[in-house]
Structure 1
């Protein structure tokens, strides 16, 4: 919506939600990230154009902190072994700045950003602080 006129500027024409849940959109600087059946997609706040897209996965979860977006998704590796991939992306263009894979799921640990440092709790509830250089 245009805040000055109250008129609708654009709408997302795709399908929203992941395979097993429907997380809400996440605000980033000048955009919005939302879950779709194909993965996370970032849309420009100004005109709704797609800025970037990530791969899909089960239990897709998205959070934002400052200029960074954290995307987590679960997948099966080696028969019955559950893994969770955590990726830190630059919000403006979706460039991956860091990626980690864990044997267990992170329940809900929103990231915190301070300058180029991003912190979150890993599955063992240890605080991880990552210095992002990209």
Structure 2
């Protein structure tokens, strides 16, 4: 939600729109949580970005972020990181196709282990970098 809040601040400054202001108001008053994927979706939609392009940008940004983390933490190495990103293109395209077949019942399907690890990471005394 911290990342979502920051994205809303940046989005409102760089790409102001009525939809973005409405969502920011909902978050500010506690009527919406302000999760980063939703903030990204509101910004993309208000800019008229086609759904497929918005999904591709969002998913590839996540793959890039995870790869950057691996380059720092494993260490994976810059060249290996670039190879990972290149091979991820097909997986991102497949994920976009899979999203087209999801239903509202699929909303909220997450990896509990990943979520727990992310929550623990946020509360650590020391971190190598901010995520």
**Shorter-normalised TM-score: what interval?**
under 0.3
Which structure carries more strand by proportion? Answer: 1
Compare relative contact order (CA 8 Å, sep 6+) and give the higher one, 1 or 2.
2
- Using structure 1 for the length normalisation, give the TM-score: 0.23
Q: Which has the larger radius of gyration?
A: 2
- Using structure 2 for the length normalisation, give the TM-score: 0.23
